Amino acid sequence: MTVVGEIALWVALFLSLWGCLASIAGAKLGRPELLESGRRSTFATAGMVAVASVGLWVALVRHDLSLRYVATHSTLNTPTVYLLTAFWAGPAGRMLFLALAIALAAAAPAIRDRELDASVRTSVVAILTGLAAVMLAVVCFGTNPFDRLEWVPAEGQGLDPDLQRPLAPIYFIATQLGYGAATMLIALAGTAAILGRLDDASRCALRRWATICWSALTIALVARMRWVYLDPTAGGFGRPGGAQLATAAVWLASFAILWLRVQPANPRSSEHRRLRRAGAIAHALGLAMIVVGIVASRSWITRPVAIRPGAAAELTDRFGGRWRFISQGVSRDEGINYLSTSVALETHRNEAQRGIVSAERRQYLDSVQRPTSEPVLRPGVWSSPRQDVYVVLAGLDSDDATLRIGFRPLVALVWIGWLVLLGGGLTVALLPRRVGASAVS
């Protein structure tokens, strides 16, 4: 399957190039057979990129360490679910999946957007297959995930511990699907600029793809925010990197298309005004809640606590509540590819029991019990609408544990705010589909 995947990758590059050139030539020469060939090549390209993607996943699941990508980002004892996540561990896998998203977007006009004018559809297909060809060329000639090693190692180097989290696949899939939808927006906008007009069908397609892009990237931003929040080394929500800023920029642009480009058939429609106003209010309210929750992170307090099994520690939160933490002792566990040491605390606030919070430290190992990374910390979190209790295992001396216990007020506002914001955005996206006919010059 690995060889089939590599061949499919090169075939996909050829097909995407052909689809782009055939669409352009067919439009210029008035040759319907070339236009039809370009249209059909989009299906073949999407199929070949899908085969290449499956080939890489099969190589990861089968531990084909002859591939540089597999040997770099996995071990023989990596759990299967995280072998699937390893697909996005390096630039080659991420770019291959993005190429798949673009290829699927290129095939969409031939399936879903049949209401588009023929000239619009041809231009969109040409632009998208061109973008897919560029992406596939980078994968094939630059970061080919099917590159082989001169000798096959007995064991791999291991998967990044950050990717061995349930939120990792959600983030990567949502991000790449959002970017794939964004390429359709680029193609539609480019087509409008080339043809000098934007008809009703194109406006509807813009809104539909902007909705997909905005929704997918909303999920990606929430998943990434939660992912970073659960990383004790990030110090909270962390500072966004270049990739997150780019995602946020595309997210804002897609919502701007939803907000600015869709005009009602009857601008005086009370239903339209009501829905538009409700969506705007919900979106603004959700954004305000997120900002308040992030700003409140400045008031977070964290205190070091040394505690023995059966002993208790008492702390006070920002709201004056008195907390009592009773250590349940140190426990050690062995997973498929890690050793875990954790400390459980029975928590009480103002004499009322709040449950058990467990902080963990993991050491990931390969199949011969060699460490593949530095130990990683997994916090214990107890959440309420008012605040989170955030516990980190900072150190361990026999059965004596050193913990960092933090009180993080108003964190729930961030997650509730995202839900409200999503509701507001979808309200705008689901406004009546009829639009006023217009053209752009």
Per-residue pLDDT tens digits for 226-255: 998 998 887 777 677 777 888 889 988 888
List Cβ<8 Å contacts ≥24 apart for 389-397: 389/323, 389/347, 389/354, 389/357, 390/302, 391/345, 391/357, 391/358, 391/359, 392/232, 392/359, 393/341, 393/342, 393/343, 393/359, 393/360, 393/361, 394/304, 396/330, 396/341, 396/343, 396/361
What does each C-alpha distance from 111 to 40, 114, 315 come to in angstroms? 11, 6, 61
| High-pLDDT (> 70) share of the chain, % | 92
Asked if residues 414 and 294 have their Cβ atoms less than 8 Å apart, the reply is yes
Q: Which helix (H) or strand (E) holds 120?
A: helix 118-141
Map residue 163 onto helix, strand or coil: helix
Tokens of 441: 């010059």
Mean pLDDT of 127-149: 90
Map residue 10 onto helix, strand or coil: helix
Beta-carbon count within 10 A of 266 CB: 12
Residue of 131, 125, 242, 119 lying closest to 183 (CA atoms): 131
Tokens of 303: 């205190």
What does each C-alpha distance from 181 to 47, 133, 188, 334 come to in angstroms? 18, 17, 11, 42
Is the pLDDT score of 436 beyond 50? no
Is the pLDDT score of 342 beyond 90? yes
Mean pLDDT of 431-439: 44
Q: Which residue has the tokens 């030539």?
A: 25
Beta-carbon count within 10 A of 142 CB: 10
pLDDT reported for residue 236? 74
Q: What is the mean pLDDT of the chain?
A: 85
pLDDT reported for residue 434? 41
Asked if residues 387 and 407 have their Cβ atoms less than 8 Å apart, the reply is yes
Which range, of 2-16, 203-217, 272-286, 345-359, averages the lowest pLDDT?
A: 272-286
pLDDT reported for residue 120? 81
pLDDT reported for residue 192? 84
Higher-confidence position of 425 and 47:
47
pLDDT tier at 265, thresholds 50, 70, 90: very low
pLDDT reported for residue 262? 46
pLDDT tier at 438, thresholds 50, 70, 90: very low
Is the pLDDT score of 325 beyond 90? yes
Higher-confidence position of 221 and 39:
221
Instruction: Quote the CA–CA distance of 330 and 123 in Å, as a whole number.
Output: 64
pLDDT tier at 105, thresholds 50, 70, 90: confident
pLDDT tier at 125, thresholds 50, 70, 90: confident
Is the pLDDT score of 284 beyond 90? no
- Half-sphere exposure for 98 (CA within 13 Å, toward CB): 22
pLDDT reported for residue 288? 92
pLDDT reported for residue 37? 87
Instruction: Quote the CA–CA distance of 100 and 9 in Å, as a whole number.
Output: 10
Distance from chain centroid for Cα 425? 18
Q: What is the sign, positive or negative, of the torsion defined by CA atoms of 27, 189, 117, 199? A: negative
Is the pLDDT score of 50 beyond 70? yes
Instruction: Quote the CA–CA distance of 160 and 158 in Å, as a whole number.
Output: 7
pLDDT reported for residue 13? 93
Asked if residues 116 and 209 have their Cβ atoms less than 8 Å apart, the reply is no
Instruction: Quote the CA–CA distance of 430 and 428 in Å, as a whole number.
Output: 6
Asked if residues 309 and 326 have their Cβ atoms less than 8 Å apart, the reply is no
Q: Encode pLDDT of 149-167 as tens digits.
A: 988 898 889 899 989 988 8
Instruction: Quote the CA–CA distance of 183 and 319 in Å, as a whole number.
Output: 48
Instruction: Quote the CA–CA distance of 174 and 250 in Å, as a whole number.
Output: 13
Cα 425–Cα 436–Cα 283 angle in degrees, nearest 5: 15
pLDDT reported for residue 217? 93
Is the pLDDT score of 383 beyond 50? yes
pTM to 2 decimal places: 0.86
CA distance from start to end of the chain: 50
Q: Encode pLDDT of 158-200 as tens digits.
A: 899 989 988 888 999 999 899 988 998 998 888 888 888 777 7
Mean pLDDT of 297-321: 88
What residues have CB less than 8 Å from 171, skipping those under 6 apart?
220, 223, 224, 227
Q: Which sequence spans correspond to the domains of the chain?
A: 2-236+248-259, 263-431
pLDDT reported for residue 123? 86
